[in-house]
Structure 1
Amino acid sequence: MDKEQLKSLEEIVHLFNEGGLSKMKVTLEGLSVELEKDGAPPLSAPAAAPAAEEKEETGALITVTAPLVGVFYASPSPDDAPYVAIGDRVSENSTLCLIESMKVFTEIPAGVSGVVEEILVHSGDYVEYDQPLFKIRTVK
């Protein structure tokens, strides 16, 4: 394994651990990696895990942030409608967007039930770790 493949492998493992995934398979330039967490429930993404007291408070404005670095996509493909729009009601498991990193697409869940008040990035924008993506007003 050369240095470039080792660096790619380290990035893949980092994305797997930080991205809230429980299983992932990636093949890049002759390097094939399959990762799976045995029996462990998937980690919730930092963006999808607001503090418990914020969840219980009706009307709180929650900021959903990027759990990884990559390209933000508002819809599953350029021809499809966006996952959410301003004013849409979402549940904790609703997909808000996709973030592509190293040719791996990660669905970003809302993490809270509420109404989308703001969308802070545009489709195709490069996003940084912990960058604000959405503002959601919580509802019970």
Structure 2
Amino acid sequence: LRLDKIGFIFQFHNLLPFLDATDNVALVLHLAGHDGATARRRAVELLDYLEVGNRKDAMPAKLSGGEAQRVAIARALANSPRIILADEPTAALDSHRAGIVMDLLRRLAAEQDACIIAVTHDEKIYDRFDRIFHLRDGRLESQEGA
């Protein structure tokens, strides 16, 4: 279920340090049973879509924080999940790149008919969400949106 239906975007990218950007994304597809060529093609397609295709052969240690986060996002989207769980998805990004990434996530979610559930403290991206739930000490404080 997790492999086929749920994509995870962590606050810290958690890329495997011994795999380049393409293989970090393709790994998910390999685990789901896709052949190597198909997995790599989809990985490169996603990296290009997230504007890090020029870094497809780079090892995680050679990526900037924003590049590594976009590779991690590509990995989360590799199997076209219906649910994307994101923990501080823009934490490693400047405000401009955070907006771009959130717009990309929204567009991908619409294209893939997926739901994004994000936890964030970044108030600058609140306008990218349909519904916002404010929690304090584990309790619902307020909600906005549809």
Q: TM-score, normalised by structure 2?
A: 0.21
More helix by share: 2
More strand by share: 1
Q: TM-score, normalised by structure 1?
A: 0.22
Q: Which has the larger radius of gyration?
A: 1
